[in-house]
Structure 1
Amino acid sequence: MKSIKSIFLLLFFQLFLHTQFAVGQDIPFVPPVFNYNTTNYKAGNQNWAIAQDNNEVMYFANNQGLLSFDGVNWKLHKLPNNRGVKSIFIDKHDNSEKIYVGSFEEFGYFERNAANILVYHSLKHLVNDYTFVNDEIWTILNHDNTVYFQSFSSYFTYRNNKVTAHKSNPSPLYFFTLQNKLFAQLIKDGLHQLKDNKFQRVITRDQLSDDDVVGMISLDSTDLIVTSKYGFFKLNSSESSVGKWQTSVDDELQDAVVNRVVTISDSLFVIGTINNGIYAITNKGKLAWHINRKNGLNNNTVLGLYKDKVGNLWAALDNGISNIQLHYDISIFEPSDIQIGMVEDMLITESKTYVATNQGVYLYNPSIKSFTQLPAFNIQTWYIKQIGKQIIAGHNKGASFIENNSQTFIKGSSTGGTDIKEVTINGQEALIETTYSFLSVFLKDNADMWQFSHNISDGFVDLATNLEVDHTGNLWLNHMYKGIYRLRLDDEI
């Protein structure tokens, strides 16, 4: 049993998602999300790709140019033709740190000059014997000291200040690197490896349920192929066959349509979808969390994903940019279908989760993945605690026992129960409750159950919001405005 005090409108849990209670009760906690839109960054809606430089500045391929964000300031760096940027790659091995970008019938790199200003250098003029026809650069990557620019009809290699155009049939749909190898998904074909500028088939399309590969990752010593609609396949060591790698969301992903994938750690990876936001999946194939427009994202269509240097996840969206805070041990659940108010306290038992708010007491319902209010419990509630076998809630009218999801008002309890603690004074066990006025005392009956005994009206009559008991039996009370009180009860309590 745990009780967590909070003053936030959301349910902030300073616990990992994979704790026993969260999994057991299937509460859909998600990491905190910070959203940015055109009002923030003053550029286009669509963002396609993301990268980060050695100074931890973030860059985004925006449909109005290259967008940069240093954590405070946004800046738009336009291409000479004012075209949008569709892909980014930062060469961090070069002393000058080139920021490669791809656009419509255009590619090149930004580089800082002596004044620390980004200046664009086009590479298109280095292309010989090639006619650009609607070539849009969708992927840029480095392999074997060569920069590759991939469009849907061809690809270009840049090495030693020389650009070479390459045509292929079928044409490339996606390029990937895995285990120091360069792979390509060809249009309406299977997965190929690029060797000596020749595509060699690795996996046929039939082996992948006639689907497109959208990503390849290594996870916990396992190489995974990620497809658009039919989930994940484990690539064997000979790279000639695959086996289905099951997850708990395979059926869901068919409709969501996977578009991007990024590894977070050896035990977690994240996929971005076209229709339903972002899914985080463990190395056991279990869903860790799912964020979409209902619970955090600006938009459900994820066009790019990137893990930054501190471990946070950035998402380039069809409308805006989202930053998912993964490096904090904090998760959030905010019901989308009900306003539960300000959370004052939470009680988690082996099988149930209760929330005390300024609107009453709510119980989590796993079948609908949301909260329902306990019957006739629609009043400001300050605490909810399990003491022994009993659950007690303090509220504006006093205190109530909760049993079988209904409340029984405790007769005699003082108005406004704000906190309650178990104490032992001269060998006698008791519960002391702070209220809007008196201290209330609960004692055990013959059945070893707590019952209201009396109010202490002499010596202290004031509003106390929190109570702690030290090892010597002193009571420490917090007044909302006046500060801290120290009290000591006599032997008769």
Structure 2
Amino acid sequence: MITQDDNQFVYFANNEGLLEFNGSNWSLYPSPNETIIRSAKSIGDRIYTGCYMEFGYWKRQSNGLLKYFSLSKNLKDKILDDEQIWNIIDFDQWVVFQSLNQIFLYDTKTSRFKIIHPKSAISRAFKTNDGIYYQTYGEGLFEIENGTGKLISNNQTILKNKIVNLFSKDGGLLIQTQFNGFFNFSDGIISKWNTEADTDLLNSSIYSSQQLNDGAFALGSVSNGIFIISKEGKLLYHITQNKGLSNNTALSIFEDFDKNLWIGLDNGINCINLNSPVRSFSDDTGILGTVYTSILHNENLYVGTNQGLFYKKYNSNEDFKFISGTKGQVWSLFSHKGTLFCGHDSGTFIISENNSRHIFAHSGTWKFETVPGQEDLLLQGNYYGLSILENKNGQWNFKNKIDGFDYSSKYFEITKSLEVYVSHEYKGVFRFQLDKNLTKTAQFDTYKNPSKGKNASLTQFNGNIYYSYKEGIFKLNKKTKQFEKQEDLSQVFKKDDYTSGKLMVDNSNRLWFFTKNYINYFSFGKLSSQLKHNIVPIPSSLTNSMLGYENITQISNSIYLIGTTDGYYTLNIDELKFNKYKISMSSITVNKTNENLQFASIKGPSDFKFAENNITFSYTVPEFNKYINAEFQYILEGSQETWSEWSTKPTINFKNLPAGDYTFKVRGKIGNDSSENVASYSFTILKPWYRTNLAVFIYMIILCIMAYFINRAYKNYYHRQKEKLIEENNRLLEIKELETEQQLMKIKNQQLEDDFESKNRELAASTMSLIKKNEFLSRIKDDLKKDSEEGSRNIKSVITTINKNISEEDTWNIFKDAFNNADKDFLKKVKALHPTLTPNDLRLCAYLRLNLSSKEIAPLLNISVRSVEIKRYRLRKKMELAHEEGLVEHILSI
């Protein structure tokens, strides 16, 4: 079953649960007991559903989601085993749940149930203007009165036919059966109601039906698609799989508020826009191909495709017929003075009904234009330049090629002065002047501005030549012969993405072109000559046209044919009137960064935590036309100052919103008509906990405490600094005292050093004195020895006395005492370092300590200088000095 609520959202009983479509998004609500939902009915603000041994209703919550409430939970003992609810009907305050075995009547006011138990199985229950009926197998047709079933008729026609639906008609009933069509039932009499579809209905098993708003009947069959019959019995449509249905088994039919026909198929859902201004013809066979051009000529509709030229009677259901000889690419169709011309990859053909005559084969032909003032001449654009067709004696034939210009002339226009403008996609725009005989041109000029462009186009509109490409639309200045950009017209390409610059002019003097999201046309206003921009909100993704080869042909005053890659569709611009739709919020979700979405209340105003500052708004306009897209524009007051650009996207996400108050507003637009309301939602992003009033109060307390402790800390600091300063001053005084003491120590040390030096000098002086004394005595002794040789006893006595005075031992003892006074413990240190030294070695060390030479040491030891040198050598050996180390330096270093 299919149903629609007051918001115009559509609901479907689905294998997996309750399926909701709001015009923008699909939502699935799982079945309450994981079984197939068989029936659904919207009544008030509730969606009633029935499934396997369960029925109840869904109600929308504040967050926009539906929640299920069971009605059958208190009737478990009344529900039969394996029972399913196949149908739901509303009548006054009652909701009727119908299974194959019994009928539950639910009173919405008292929430009480009545149950009807027929004797045999129920075929189906029906609702008419006057009451509720049901048919049982083998018993007949019953009407519910006072909570019980009352037999209305057990006529053989009713007993032999399964009733699919009942309708009120002329005070009686119209009975629609499964195999035998319709019957009238009035005052107990049953009669056949004949329709144009009776033959088809006899061969079809009708499973579902509904009477439409205009009184027509839509019938869904098991294997033969959809029949739509007028209230007079005329067959309006027979729609099958090869005409667009997903499959031929239509299990349910529902007409929505906009008179769209929803079909619940064996597998899938289809929506038929019965009142759409757009009618499509899709060629699933591939025989027709891509439509590049079309024309209505002599009540025949001709379409030129990449497969050739086809035709059929206009407004007929017959198939297209191929015109022999036209196999290949057709570029254009042109009607002039009752003759139909075909521009083809193979040249030019003249078409007569279903025949073709090839009149030009030198090159492929792009298009045709009349020569101003010469109705018997046509100028045609070819793959290699331009050429002239001429009408002589009622026959059109090739006349001549225009010499001097050989470039492809896909788009060209000719002025009254025989000046020709040609647009070449890869070379730009050319201009040249034809001679009076239309045979040649002397030269041609190439425009530098505007430049060449992909899918560029050139056409003549209202006496002016226009050029269009991605940079905008340009108009030829007739005086300067230069193209000037039309800013007002070029705004279209700025507001909508450029796809093609193809320009087309219809018979009603409208200038058509295509952009990404719209079909556009300019027309003249009724009260002014200013161009008016009109849009048809059909995006290029749905039109499915070849970019650069879009084509639109005026079939009648209001109907246009637009070619596509797999057929065509027609557009009635007089019916491009849209209902005033209401835009609504479908859901609002918030989330913390990298966490799951949480649904928020859509009623507002709401407060969100600071961490929940990622907010997604979903909104919709419940518009279900295939070719018409709704557009949306929003503003977030508190964050942005202007409305956004129009977009077909039904959601918008705001990330990392700062704390503050916001109001989100969104409005919709279908075509040129805006939604009747602006949906708004106010909310607040709360400050983070560390910026709340309580936090600020706590901060102030903490600040005061900190100020107290800082002040105390400063006092302690300055107290410590004062003590430290005193301590440093004391330390400085101590340091000064120490420095004074050190100074005194230095003075004392200096005195000691001076004393030491003095003693050393005295020692040296005394030593030198001894040396000189000994030298003196030795000289005296030597002189006396000379005299003693003569034998004088007295002289010998004097010599003995002298020997005693120059005794080595006495001299050393005197020196040793003086040396120890001057250089304490030196001899001990030397003895400690070199235990093998003899007293004589120590004596030599002491003399060397005084830096005496060998010549000065010899008298002190009473030996020769040579002996001193030998002693010094032996002393080095005992001290084990290296060759490069000096003896005196070593002794001085001890």
Provide closer, same or farther for how the CA distance between residues 407 and 350 of structure 1 changes in structure 2, counting only shifts above 3 A: closer
Residues 342-379 of structure 1: CA distance to partner in whole angstroms, max 9, x if unpaired? Answer: 11123445564432101212344999953443334321
With structure 1 as the length reference, what TM-score do the two structures score?
A: 0.77
Counterpart pick for 1:432 among 379, 383, 396? 379
Report how far residue 489 of structure 1 moved: 6.8
1:464 aligned onto 2:413: no
Provide closer, same or farther for how the CA distance between residues 461 and 316 of structure 1 changes in structure 2, counting only shifts above 3 A: same
1:410 aligned onto 2:355: no
Amino acid at match of 2:133: F
8 Å contact from structure 1 (residues 105, 134) kept in 2 = yes
1:259-274 aligned at under 5 Å gives the runs 259-266=207-214, 268-274=216-222
Provide closer, same or farther for how the CA distance between residues 257 and 480 of structure 1 changes in structure 2, counting only shifts above 3 A: farther
Amino acid at match of 2:34: N
Counterpart pick for 2:329 among 377, 380, 390? 380
Residues 313-366 of structure 1: CA distance to partner in whole angstroms, max 9, x if unpaired? Answer: 211111111122223222223344443211112344556443210121234499
Counterpart pick for 1:391 among 323, 340, 360? 340
Provide closer, same or farther for how the CA distance between residues 113 and 470 of structure 1 changes in structure 2, counting only shifts above 3 A: farther
SS in 1 for 2:124: strand
State the identity as a percent: 29
- Distance in 2, matches of 1:316 and 1:268, equals 19
- Distance in 2, matches of 1:450 and 1:201, equals 78
Provide closer, same or farther for how the CA distance between residues 457 and 71 of structure 1 changes in structure 2, counting only shifts above 3 A: farther
1:186-335 aligned at under 5 Å gives the runs 186-207=136-157, 210-217=160-167, 224-235=174-185, 238-266=186-214, 268-335=216-283
Report how far residue 288 of structure 1 moved: 2.3
* Number of equivalent positions: 435
- Distance in 1, matches of 2:401 and 2:172, equals 64
Q: Which moved more, 1:298-307 or 1:192-201?
A: 192-201
8 Å contact from structure 2 (residues 388, 402) kept in 1 = yes
Per the alignment, residue 450 of structure 2 pairs with none
Per the alignment, residue 41 of structure 1 pairs with none
Per the alignment, residue 349 of structure 2 pairs with 400
Residues 15-48 of structure 1: CA distance to partner in whole angstroms, max 9, x if unpaired? Answer: xxxxxxxxxxxxxxxxxxxxxxxxxxxxxxxxxx
Residues 424-472 of structure 1: CA distance to partner in whole angstroms, max 9, x if unpaired? Answer: 62364443333334333333222x343333333457944324x678999
- Distance in 2, matches of 1:476 and 1:241, equals 77
Per the alignment, residue 77 of structure 1 pairs with 29
Counterpart pick for 2:127 among 177, 191, 215? 177
- Distance in 1, matches of 2:16 and 2:112, equals 28
Per the alignment, residue 452 of structure 1 pairs with 398
Per the alignment, residue 38 of structure 2 pairs with 86
SS in 2 for 1:84: coil
Report how far residue 223 of structure 1 moved: 6.0
Amino acid at match of 1:278: I
- Distance in 2, matches of 1:202 and 1:322, equals 36
- Distance in 1, matches of 2:3 and 2:60, equals 16
Provide closer, same or farther for how the CA distance between residues 221 and 437 of structure 1 changes in structure 2, counting only shifts above 3 A: farther
8 Å contact from structure 1 (residues 67, 77) kept in 2 = yes
1:146 aligned onto 2:146: no
- Distance in 1, matches of 2:120 and 2:207, equals 21
- Distance in 2, matches of 1:56 and 1:299, equals 26
8 Å contact from structure 2 (residues 217, 229) kept in 1 = yes
Provide closer, same or farther for how the CA distance between residues 65 and 476 of structure 1 changes in structure 2, counting only shifts above 3 A: farther
8 Å contact from structure 1 (residues 361, 374) kept in 2 = yes
Structure number with higher relative contact order (C-alpha < 8 Å, ≥ 6 residues apart): 1
Per the alignment, residue 443 of structure 1 pairs with 390
Amino acid at match of 2:324: P
Unaligned residue ranges in structure 1 (runs of 5+): 1-48
Amino acid at match of 1:81: N
Q: Which moved more, 1:156-165 or 1:181-190?
A: 181-190
Report how far residue 148 of structure 1 moved: 0.3
SS in 2 for 1:253: helix
With structure 2 as the length reference, what TM-score do the two structures score?
A: 0.44
1:361 aligned onto 2:309: yes
Report how far residue 289 of structure 1 moved: 2.3
Report how far residue 110 of structure 1 moved: 0.8
Residues 223-248 of structure 1: CA distance to partner in whole angstroms, max 9, x if unpaired? Answer: 6322111112244xx45334322222
Q: Which moved more, 1:82-91 or 1:478-487?
A: 478-487
Amino acid at match of 1:391: L
8 Å contact from structure 1 (residues 259, 272) kept in 2 = yes
- Distance in 2, matches of 1:124 and 1:470, equals 81
Report how far residue 394 of structure 1 moved: 1.1
- Distance in 2, matches of 1:224 and 1:475, equals 69
- Distance in 2, matches of 1:215 and 1:260, equals 8
1:109-188 aligned at under 5 Å gives the runs 109-127=57-75, 130-159=78-107, 160-188=110-138
Unaligned residue ranges in structure 2 (runs of 5+): 439-894
Per the alignment, residue 61 of structure 1 pairs with 13
Per the alignment, residue 15 of structure 1 pairs with none
SS in 2 for 1:126: helix
Report how far residue 61 of structure 1 moved: 0.3
Report how far residue 487 of structure 1 moved: 8.6
SS in 2 for 1:299: coil
Provide closer, same or farther for how the CA distance between residues 429 and 69 of structure 1 changes in structure 2, counting only shifts above 3 A: same
8 Å contact from structure 1 (residues 272, 303) kept in 2 = yes
Provide closer, same or farther for how the CA distance between residues 115 and 190 of structure 1 changes in structure 2, counting only shifts above 3 A: same
- Distance in 2, matches of 1:386 and 1:284, equals 40
Structure richer in strand, relative to its length = 1
SS in 1 for 2:160: coil
SS in 1 for 2:212: strand
Provide closer, same or farther for how the CA distance between residues 461 and 388 of structure 1 changes in structure 2, counting only shifts above 3 A: same
Residues 240-266 of structure 1: CA distance to partner in whole angstroms, max 9, x if unpaired? Answer: 334322222222222321111123342
Per the alignment, residue 51 of structure 1 pairs with 3
8 Å contact from structure 1 (residues 111, 119) kept in 2 = yes
- Distance in 2, matches of 1:89 and 1:188, equals 29
Residues 78-124 of structure 1: CA distance to partner in whole angstroms, max 9, x if unpaired? Answer: 233211100001112xxxx1110011111101112333321111111
8 Å contact from structure 1 (residues 397, 415) kept in 2 = yes
- Distance in 1, matches of 2:95 and 2:153, equals 25
Q: Which moved more, 1:472-481 or 1:51-60?
A: 472-481
Provide closer, same or farther for how the CA distance between residues 91 and 484 of structure 1 changes in structure 2, counting only shifts above 3 A: farther
Structure richer in helix, relative to its length = 2
Per the alignment, residue 16 of structure 1 pairs with none
- Distance in 2, matches of 1:350 and 1:200, equals 62
SS in 2 for 1:294: helix
Residues 256-312 of structure 1: CA distance to partner in whole angstroms, max 9, x if unpaired? Answer: 211111233425332111111212222332332222222322222111111222222
Residues 461-490 of structure 1: CA distance to partner in whole angstroms, max 9, x if unpaired? Answer: 44324x678999998876557788899877
8 Å contact from structure 1 (residues 426, 491) kept in 2 = no
8 Å contact from structure 2 (residues 295, 303) kept in 1 = yes
Per the alignment, residue 29 of structure 1 pairs with none
- Distance in 2, matches of 1:169 and 1:130, equals 16
